[in-house]
Amino acid sequence: MADLPVKLVAVWHKTSVDAAREQQATYQNAFVAGQKRFSNSDDPPSSSQKRRLPQQQKQQPPLQAALNELPRLTASSIEQAAQKDFPSEYSQRRAFPSTPTPTIDPLLSLSHSAYQLPPQLVANFAASGIRSIYPWQKQCLLGPGLLNGQRNLVYSAPTGGGKSLVADILMLKRVLSEPEAKAILVLPYVALVQEKVRWLRNIVAGISREALGQKKEDKQQFWAQRADKDTVRVVGFYGGSKVRATWADFDIAVCTIEKANALVNGAICDCSVSKLQAVVLDECHMIDDGHRGYLLELLTTKLLCLGQPMQIVAMSATLTNIDLLKNWLQGHSYETHYRPIPIEEHLVYDGKIYPAGTTASLLKTVTQLDSRTQAQPIQPALEHLRIIKPSAHKELKDAVLNAVVALANETARAGFGVLVFSSSRAGAESDALLISRVLPAFSEASPTIQEKRLDLLNELRSIPTGLDANLEKTIPSGVAFHHAGLTTEERELVANAYDAGILKVCVATCSLAAGINLPARRVILHNARMGRDLVGPSMLRQMRGRAGRKGKDEVGETYLCCRQSDLEAVVDLMHADLPEISSCLISDQRRIQRALLEVIAIKLATSREALDDYVSKTMLAYSTEAEPESIQRHVESSLENLEKMQFITMENDGNFQATLLGQAVVASSLDPDDGVFIHNELKKALQAFVMDGEMHVVYNFTPIPDLEMATVNWRVFWNEMQQLDESAMRVLDLVGLKPFMINKMLHGATMKQSTQEEKDTARRYYRFYLALQLRDLCNEVPIHRVAQKYDTPRGMVQSLAQTSQGFAIGMVKFCETMGWGAMAVTLDHFSDRLKAGAKSDLLALAKITFIKSRTARVFWDNGFKTVASIANADPNELVPILMQAQPNKVRLGEGKDEQKYGEKLLAKAKVIADSANRLWQIEMQQDLEEE
């Protein structure tokens, strides 16, 4: 701490372990250098508030979670019930090892000459833990024409079976084949995109293109245009990333489905798509998801129509009719059921655990369990493996809940990780609280684990949303929950702590099963429901596939706990075959309309013959469920509708041409119906745009709500409307909303949604309600306060903000295409404010790494009002300001010794200063160019 400013802090707290053990009633406030002392609130406190503040601080107890533990419960015991040793894949795997090594088969080494991978790439794989490949991966990679990129590939492998590595190798070979080669990797969820970006950046680190022999004389001009010419650039494209969908700054684009489609559309329009050498479609079974997965079919069909050398790789863990995809892609197919970590599957019913690992044992289980509840001759009782004793606690009287808690307790106490899937966010938190009450108390954990869990609590306290009250109760016992109601930062901290073994139990919602990568020794399914509905076979396989952690566990275990009313449906679900995928282009008229509009707008197909050729290359044309005559009828009616909506026109030569409106809809990645709605909204705004306030522009970059999912707290809506200023009330009127209607909804009325006009009206009310939340975020109201105000989970508010950033980019493109430049500039400016969560004066500061919203305001208030001022500051000067920006963390104790805490803050200050310096240099360069 010698190199830190003298005025850094007046009092340093004891270590977190000491603080947890000593039940201190008060604590001292940490005063730091700087002018502002009350940055924990939005506005400076009044004089009376200033007088009350010290007393309020003294009343706040430290480390509440560690000191006030929840009342303890005792988990039910689990006893052996049968002496018979049931055979399992695990026992067979122990007796007969099935994974040969490169010593036995040299082709299992990535350094083998057959793969022709650069030594640095092989070394990077080894550093990440991949030192050899499985036999099935070898067989797949050596398929005809795959390693040289001549053939497409579609393959299926179980979750945890290593399927991503095959696609990674093929993609990287194409990217490294020549300097201008590009690849796109498509994933369904933002979290998966972010995780994959980190993974790929580590895998390509240190790879020299020049060393690969790519820097040839005929490439000199290309290399001269790139400052980072010797590196492989990996960039993530997703809704809230604020990364423009351009080809100039990446070699590998990791995209969500929507971003990938927009990226390809743009590349076809500007003729840069010829650089695309590889496209990987992960989770390709989602192609029959009518909500968003159908865009995979649009995207892939466009690529197939290009007729250029390009390798398409499609993979999934849940493919059944793989031949359909094989024929569609005109490629090679491969299927495997191999898992390096075997899974033992169980059915838990009425406090008894039955084997359910094979079809035979599952059917036997069903037959004999059903015989107990039906008037049939009594059959010999099925031998169950173990019995979960009933609980004496009233909280655990429910047999299913008692089983979930007992199974989680057993595994966590044995030192292994447990992943519990619950049907809802509330259910996940409730399960986590109960499980935490049966696990060893915080005081019983080792000092090292105590320290790490308290560090986790402090990390959660330090993020802008603060520490969730229920996480504060569960984390000391090594339990947490993970659902969409938490913010991205909270979910990431929880996931990392679980992966590191700091947390032993993670309770997640079923809806996140495909969007998280949290393997566990034991996976427990609490009723296998998503909301009220039973999950499907694909989702069930996703959840069960999380069992088994390669390198840490020898086996994975799954336990599906169900009650009597669900028994038949659950057993059917466990025994059900995976559904076959199919095209959904004609199951909803909008989908094929969008497909036709896109190819016309990007000029990939404008004549009727070219459109027919495009349709013939869709997966729909290869499906048996659609007759050619039916497809043609849908094409005809869709073209007529597009003309009626004024998206396309037919020229004298019989070719189709996209109108300006049609081009704008495609450029902004909207569905045709949504495009009509947005066009009408923006036209009204252009005729009477309210410029003396923020509400109108915020409304116009608010995403279109899904009427099936939209919820409004009409009491909050009414209260907010009452407080709107004159400018915002004019916006309310111009948009077409009526105060009396909001009042009616408040008193129990129902909004009609029978006609398209009524649906559009409902959209406007829901959209304005979301716009109120975004308005607050743009004005530096923290996410957790917006969530409290509008009775919405914090994660949903953050998701709205991130989605709005992507939607705003689309609206900017819409306006630019329509020639509405002034509107485009205004929307773009407010999009920047939303990303920063700040007012206009902080936008420059918010570009600096680690500085957003509240932190930026603290820097501003302390005199650092420009990027240059921070760039020229000594990092030591920035440490006290960072402490002001994290008052909760300072007051409650860091949980580390002084030196470690000071070093951490100083390291962060150095990153901020370096980032500011880079931005400042860019600003100076731009000024010189303008001169």
**Chunked in runs of 10, what are the mean pLDDT values of the chain (931 residues)?**
36 36 34 33 37 36 51 88 50 49 87 93 93 93 94 91 93 90 92 90 86 53 51 85 67 94 91 93 88 91 93 91 94 90 85 70 56 47 81 92 95 92 91 95 90 89 83 94 89 91 92 71 86 78 77 80 80 78 82 94 94 94 84 92 94 91 94 93 90 90 86 94 94 94 93 92 95 91 90 90 87 92 83 75 80 81 85 86 65 49 78 84 71 56
d(Cα 489, Cα 662) in Å, to the nearest integer? 38
In a domain? residue 101: no
In a domain? residue 71: no
d(Cα 522, Cα 513) in Å, to the nearest integer? 14
Number of folded domains that form the chain: 4
Same domain, 643 and 498: no
Same domain, 287 and 172: yes
DSSP string, 759-804: HHHHHHHHHHHHHHHHHHHHTT--HHHHHHHTT--HHHHHHHHHHH
In a domain? residue 516: yes
In a domain? residue 129: yes
Same domain, 505 and 649: no
Which pLDDT score, from 0 to 100, does residue 516 have?
66
Residue where one domain finishes, among candidates 318, 335, 352 = 335
Same domain, 623 and 483: no
Q: What is the CATH number of the domain that holds 699?
A: 1.10.3380.20
In a domain? residue 281: yes
In a domain? residue 877: no
Q: Is the distance from CB of 663 to CB of 601 less than 8 angstroms?
A: yes
Q: Containing domain of residue 644, as a range?
A: 589-658
Phi/psi of residue 78, each to 5°? -120, 120
Torsion region of 71: left, alpha or beta (phi above 0 gives left; psi -120 to 50 gives alpha) = beta
Q: What is the CATH number of the domain that holds 646?
A: 1.10.10.10
Alpha-carbon separation of residue 279 from 103, 164, 284, 296, 806 (angstroms): 33, 13, 12, 11, 22
Q: Is the distance from CB of 20 to CB of 891 less than 8 angstroms?
A: no
d(Cα 97, Cα 91) in Å, to the nearest integer? 10
Residues 6+ apart with CB under 8 A from 530: 423, 509, 510, 511, 539
Q: What is the CATH number of the domain that holds 429?
A: 3.40.50.300
Which pLDDT score, from 0 to 100, does residue 89 have?
41
Same domain, 487 and 430: yes
Which pLDDT score, from 0 to 100, does residue 497 have?
94
Residue where one domain finishes, among candidates 658, 686, 707 = 658
In a domain? residue 716: yes
Same domain, 348 and 317: no
In the sheet that 153-156 helps form, which strands lie side by side, from edge to edge? 234-237, 252-256, 182-187, 276-281, 311-316, 153-156, 332-335
Same domain, 329 and 222: yes
Q: Which residues pair with 242 in a beta bridge?
A: none
Same domain, 262 and 389: no
Structure token pair of residue 821: 């430049």
SS3 state at 183: strand
d(Cα 340, Cα 129) in Å, to the nearest integer? 14
pTM: 0.82
Same domain, 366 and 247: no
Q: Is the distance from CB of 155 to CB of 140 less than 8 angstroms?
A: yes
Same domain, 607 and 706: no
Which pLDDT score, from 0 to 100, does residue 103 have?
79
Residue where one domain finishes, among candidates 837, 867, 882 = 837
Alpha-carbon separation of residue 176 from 158, 182, 860 (angstroms): 28, 9, 45
In a domain? residue 404: yes
Same domain, 239 and 364: no
Same domain, 831 and 715: yes
Amino acid at 718: W
Instruction: Return the closest-CA partner of residue 440 out of 469, 411, 491, 476.
Output: 476
Q: Is the distance from CB of 143 to CB of 326 less than 8 angstroms?
A: no
Which pLDDT score, from 0 to 100, does residue 1 have?
40
